[in-house]
Structure 1
Amino acid sequence: IVAGALLLSWPQNAPSGAQAATSLWPALAVLLACFFWALDNNFTRKVALTDASWIACVKGLAAGTTNLLLAFVAGAALPNVGKLSAAMGVGFFAYGVSLALFVMALRHLGASRAGAYFSTAPFVGALFSVLFLAEPITWPLLAAALLMALGIWLHLTEHHAHAHQHEVLEHEHLHAHPSLDGHHTHEHAPAFEGQHSHRHSHEPMTHSHAHYPDAHHRHDH
C-alpha cells in the first residue's frame, strides 16, 4: 500500500542536478509531516476507546484554530460566505467524519493497519480525478492500483492467531453481552443482553484465537 502511495506521489518531471537539490525540501517537509502524523496516530490510539466523535471535535478545534492563526499571520483573509460554507462542508466530511471513522479503526485494528488502509487515499483521489476531472489513466496509476489492491488483500487475508495472555485490565468502552470474543464475561445484576458501555475489569486469562492489535491485544511478540 505504501509503495503504491509512493508511486502516485513521485513527481513525473523530476528535476536533476542543482534543481533537484533545491527542490528537496518539499519532499522532506512531506516526510516530516508524515512523521508527526505517525506520532499523532499512536497517541490517538491510546485514547481511541473514548467517544470517536468527541476526539474528532477536540482535534478539529485544535487543528482548525492553529491553521486559522497561521493563515492570518501569513496575511490571508476570510473568504466570502459562499466559499466559507463550502469549505466548512468539505471539512465536516473530509476531516470530521473521516477522523471519527479513523479513530474507530484505530480502536479495532491498531495504528499501523489503520494507517496502511488510510494511505490508500492518494489512489482514491487519483481515481476521482479520472472520473470527474478527465485526468488521463497512466501507467503509474494502474501500477499503484495493483500494489494497493495487493496490500489490502494481504491485510484482509491475514490470520494472526496464537496463544496469548491477558493481564489485569480496567477500562470503559462499548461492548456486548453475551460476549462472542470471550473477553467480556463479567456479570450484571439483573442479567443484561445487548450492547452498552461502562467501566469494567478483565481478569488474567490465557487463550488462543485470531486477533488484531485492538484494545485487548497489545501484548508483545
Structure 2
Amino acid sequence: MTHHHGYIGALLAAFLFGISSTLNKIALENVHPLVVAGSIYLTAGVVLMVIRYTPVKDIILEQLKSKVATQDSFSRKDFLLLGVIALFGSFLAPLLFMFGLDRTTAVNASLLLNTETLFTVILALFLFGEKISRRGAIGILFILVGAVVVSTESLMGVHLTEGLLGNALVVLASLSWAIDNNLSKLLSLKRDLLLVTSLKGLLGGSALLSLAILFGIPLNVPPESLPYLLTVGSLSIGFSIVLFLFALREIGAMKTGAIFATSSLMGAVTAFLVLGESFTGIKAIFGMIMLVGVYLLSE
C-alpha cells in the first residue's frame, strides 16, 4: 500500500458513514433512537466477528496491509485502551448526542457536530504531537467551512442561544468522538482491524441496548426497519470504522478526522437522491471546496 491509500481509506469511510444519515432517518420512523444506536453498533460487532471466522478475513486484512509495522498480539493494556475507546466513541458520544438532539434544534445539532473535526485536529496537534504544513492547514480550513454549509439546512435557522443544554450535549458528544478518533490511532497499529472494530461495536452496542432496557424502552424492531439497521450496522459503522482505523494508521488522526468530515457531503447527496431533500447550488459549491481541501491535505 502506498501513502495515498490512507486518503482513499478515509474518503471511503466517510462515504459509508455518510449514507447512514439517510438510512437512519427511515429507521427512526419506527424505532427509538437509543435502540437504533445500540442495534447498529451491535450489528457491526456481530457481522465483523463472523467474518473473522471465514476466509474473507484474510482477503480483507491483506488489502489493508501497509508499510507501517503492525502488531499481531493484544496485551492487557490494549484491551483496557479498547474499553476506554468504546466508552467514549460507542457509548457516551451517541448517548450524549441523542439527548442533546432531543433538547435542541436539528439545525443547531448539524452545525455543532462539525466541532468533532475541530476537536480531533486540536487534540492531534497539541496533545499527540502531529504535524501539519501550511498547505495542509488551509485544506483543513476548507473542509471545515464546507462542512458547516453543507451540513446545515439553513444558516439563518441557527440560534445557538436556544436549547443551550442540548447544544452543550452535542458539543460534548463531538468531543467524545474526537477523543475516540485520537486514541484509536494507538490501536490502528494492530494487524487485525476486524477484531478491534468488532469488539468496539459489541461493547458499545451492548451497553446502549442495556441502557434502553434500563429506561424501559421497548427493543421491538419492525421487519421493515431491519434492512436499514443491518446495512448501517455492517457498512456505515462496521466497515467504515475498519477503513477509518486503516487511515489513522497511514496518515494520522488529524488528516483522517478532517477528511472524514466529508461524510456530511456524502450524506447530503444521498438524502437528495433517496429522500428528495434539497441540495442547493450553494451546497454544491461548498462541497467542491471540501474536495479541494482534501486535495490540499493529501500533499
CA distance in 2, matches of 1:7, 1:86: 27
Using the TM superposition, give the Cα deviation of residue 71 of structure 1 relative to its aligned residue in structure 2, in angstroms: 2.1
Q: What is the CA–CA distance in structure 2 between the aligned matches of 1:142 and 1:81, rounded to whole Å?
A: 36
Q: Structure 1 pair 6/26, CA: closer, same or farther in 2 (3 Å)?
A: farther
Paired residues of 1:57 and 1:96 also in contact (CA < 8 A): yes
Q: What does 1:11-90 align with in structure 2 at a 5 Å threshold? A: 12=154, 13-14=156-157, 20-50=160-190, 51-80=192-221, 82=223, 83-84=225-226, 86-90=228-232
TM-superposed deviation, 1:4: 1.4
1:131 partnered with 2:252: no
Name the counterpart of 1:111.
Answer: 253
Q: 1:48 to 1:8 in 2, by over 3 A?
A: same
**Residue pair 2:268, 2:279 contacting (<8 A) in 1 also:** no
TM-score (norm 1): 0.63
Question: Structure 2 CA distance, aligned partners of 1:28 and 1:143?
Answer: 30
Q: Distance in 2 between matches of 1:140 and 1:23?
A: 27
Partner SS, residue 161 of structure 2: helix
Task: Output the CA distance in 2 between the equivalents of 1:24 and 1:142.
Answer: 31
Indicate conservation of the 8 Å contact 1:102/1:114, yes or no.
yes
Which of the two has higher C-alpha Rg? Answer: 1
Distance change (3 Å), C-alpha of 1:135 and 1:110: same
| 2:244–2:256 CA contact under 8 A, matched in 1 | yes
Contact 2:194 2:242 in 1 (8 A): yes
Partner of 1:98: 240
Secondary structure in 1 aligned to 2:176? helix
The one-letter code of the counterpart of 1:65 is S
Return the alpha-carbon distance in structure 2 between the equivalents of residues 97 and 90 of structure 1: 10
List alignment gaps of at least 5 residues for structure 1: 159-221
Q: Which has the higher strand share?
A: 1
Aligned-partner residue type, residue 54 of structure 1: L
Q: Which moved more, 1:141-150 or 1:54-63?
A: 141-150
Provide, for residues 90-142 of structure 1, a one-character-per-residue CA deviation record: whole Å limited to 9, x for no partner: 20111111111111111101001111111110110000111122222224412
Deviations 1:158-180 (A, max 9, x none): 1xxxxxxxxxxxxxxxxxxxxxx
Question: Equivalent pairs: percent with the same residue?
Answer: 32
Alpha-carbon distance in structure 2 between the residues aligned to 1:76 and 1:107? 38
Q: What amino acid is aligned across from residue 9 of structure 1 in structure 2?
A: S
- What is the CA RMSD across the aligned residues, in angstroms? 2.1
Normalising by structure 2, what TM-score?
0.47
Does structure 2 conserve the Cα–Cα contact (< 8 Å) formed by 1:56 and 1:100?
yes
State how far apart, in whole Å, the 1-side matches of 2:166 and 2:258 are.
22
Q: Is the 8 Å Cα contact of residues 123 and 144 (structure 1) preserved in structure 2?
A: no
Whole-angstrom distance in 2 between the partners of 1:10 and 1:135:
12
* Deviation >6 Å, runs of 4+: none
Structure 1 distance, partners of 2:183, 2:280, is: 37
Q: 1:113 to 1:139 in 2, by over 3 A?
A: same
Question: How far off its partner does 1:69 sit?
Answer: 2.0
Which residue is equivalent to 1:168?
none
Distance of aligned partners of 1:141 and 1:73 in 2 relative to their CA distance in 1, 3 Å threshold: farther
2:151/2:268 contact within 8 Å kept: no
